[in-house]
């Protein structure tokens, strides 16, 4: 219990600070106890929503971090979380409004505070492009995990073994995502379809580009090691995780407007969730949970595929964020339970 608390102490303190800020902001802006409690409640609900949507994010973060050197692990868990909290939860929505409305960032902040309905309308209006980019990127992340010829551990055996057989086909996952993006675009009006296709292609290019940077860095490291140098860099992994976190954040940021169109309230609620992702990631890496529960990664990557598809489909149909979070949590919960069951079978077959 003490070890568990150590991993989550900072997040709990951060949560308490955000809740106090919510109370202060509610009272300062409304002067009403009822309105202040309403704002506090929305911040709590947003925090829970963000955490529920982020289980798979934490598992995938831990998967990448465990292979990075300690220096870059620390950089991601410090600089990376600052980018996640302040970049995606605060700067990103303001940037969308500034670009869409062709106004400066200061004017965008004023708009968010003085006319939150218009601010919400502009951010929500960018949903088509966000869905295309984020959905394509996440779908690639999930599919690449399963299209791996060297992968010898399978959770949903019949499906995962079938996928592995096609892993030798070059760029098969890219083709699948392109077909999916194109198919969904045919259900959209001409202007939206063009935006969706362009964003989806940019999502694919971003995924390929980030992985290319990682591959180049790895080649340089290999050359240095061959000459006797011991220099390891996690820059490629760092960039990959930042884009991945941004893609995970899209649905939370857009979905937050279903509860509030106040930028301060949304930022407080989503920031708490982002901080808990950091704590969950540290917990998974430090405790070696991924190696202890062999199917946990599989559940997370299946959840990523589902989230990617849901984001893409959301360009046509509205899908509640609660539903998205429940699917991700269910898949991870099932993979965890399956892992525990496997461990028990191994223990019974090989008693000490």
Q: Please, which pLDDT band fits residue 321 given cuts at 50, 70 and 90?
A: low
Give me the mean pLDDT over the 127-131 stretch. 83
Span 287-308, pLDDT tens digits: 777 777 788 888 878 888 888 8
Q: Please, which pLDDT band fits residue 231 given cuts at 50, 70 and 90?
A: very low
Picking from 122, 57, 76, the residue whose alpha carbon sits closest to that of residue 284 is 57
Six-digit token string for 280: 């969950």
The answer, yes or no, to whether residue 181 has pLDDT greater than 90, is: yes
339 compared with 98, residue with greater pLDDT: 339
Give me the mean pLDDT over the 257-273 stretch. 78
Span 16-69, pLDDT tens digits: 999 999 999 888 888 888 888 888 888 887 887 777 666 777 777 777 777 777
**Mean pLDDT: which of 14-28, 258-272, 334-348 is highest?**
14-28
CA–CA separation, 221 vs 251, rounded Å?
A: 36
pLDDT value, residue 60: 75
351 compared with 148, residue with greater pLDDT: 148
Average pLDDT, the chain: 79
Q: DSSP code of 169? A: S
CA–CA separation, 147 vs 50, rounded Å?
A: 29
The answer, yes or no, to whether residue 230 has pLDDT greater than 50, is: no
Least confident segment among 103-107, 230-234, 274-278? 230-234
Cβ atoms of 275 and 10 closer than 8 Å: yes
Give me the mean pLDDT over the 248-264 stretch. 69
Categorise residue 321: left if φ over 0, alpha if ψ from -120 to 50, beta otherwise. alpha
Q: Beta-carbon neighbour count of residue 233 at 10 Å?
A: 17
pLDDT value, residue 179: 94
Q: Model-level pTM?
A: 0.74
Cβ atoms of 77 and 278 closer than 8 Å: yes
pLDDT value, residue 180: 94
């Amino acid at each position: 219990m003490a070890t568990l608390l150590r991993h989550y102490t900072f997040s709990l303190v951060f949560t308490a600070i955000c809740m106090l800020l919510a109370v202060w902001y509610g009272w300062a802006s409304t002067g009403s106890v009822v309105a202040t409690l309403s704002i506090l409640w929305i911040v709590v609900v947003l925090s829970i929503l963000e955490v529920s949507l982020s289980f798979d994010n934490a598992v995938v973060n831990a998967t990448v971090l465990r292979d990075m050197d300690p220096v870059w692990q620390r950089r991601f868990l410090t600089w990376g979380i600052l980018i996640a909290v302040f970049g995606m939860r605060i700067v990103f929505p303001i940037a969308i409004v500034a670009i869409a409305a062709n106004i400066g960032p200061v004017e965008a902040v004023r708009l968010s505070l003085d006319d939150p309905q218009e601010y919400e309308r502009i951010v929500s209006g960018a949903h088509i492009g966000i869905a295309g980019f984020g959905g394509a990127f996440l779908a690639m992340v999930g599919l690449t995990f399963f299209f791996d010829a060297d992968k010898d551990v399978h959770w949903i055996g019949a499906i995962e073994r079938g996928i592995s057989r096609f892993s030798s086909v070059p760029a098969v996952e890219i083709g699948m995502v392109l077909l999916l993006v194109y198919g969904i675009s045919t259900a959209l009006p001409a202007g939206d379809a063009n935006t969706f296709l362009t964003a989806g292609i940019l999502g694919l290019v971003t995924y390929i580009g980030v992985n290319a940077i990682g591959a180049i860095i790895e080649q340089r490291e290999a050359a240095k090691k061959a000459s006797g140098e011991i220099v390891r860099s996690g820059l490629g992994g760092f960039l990959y995780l930042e884009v991945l976190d941004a893609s995970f954040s899209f649905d939370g940021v857009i979905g937050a407007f279903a509860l509030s169109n106040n930028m301060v309230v949304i930022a407080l609620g989503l920031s708490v969730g982002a901080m808990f992702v950091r704590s969950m990631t540290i917990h998974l890496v430090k405790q070696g949970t991924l190696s202890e529960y062999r199917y946990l990664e599989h559940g997370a990557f299946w959840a990523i595929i589902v989230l990617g598809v849901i984001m893409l489909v959301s360009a046509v149909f509205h899908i509640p964020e609660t539903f998205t979070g429940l699917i991700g949590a269910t898949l991870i919960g099932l993979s965890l339970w399956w892992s525990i069951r496997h461990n028990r079978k191994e223990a019974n077959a090989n008693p000490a």
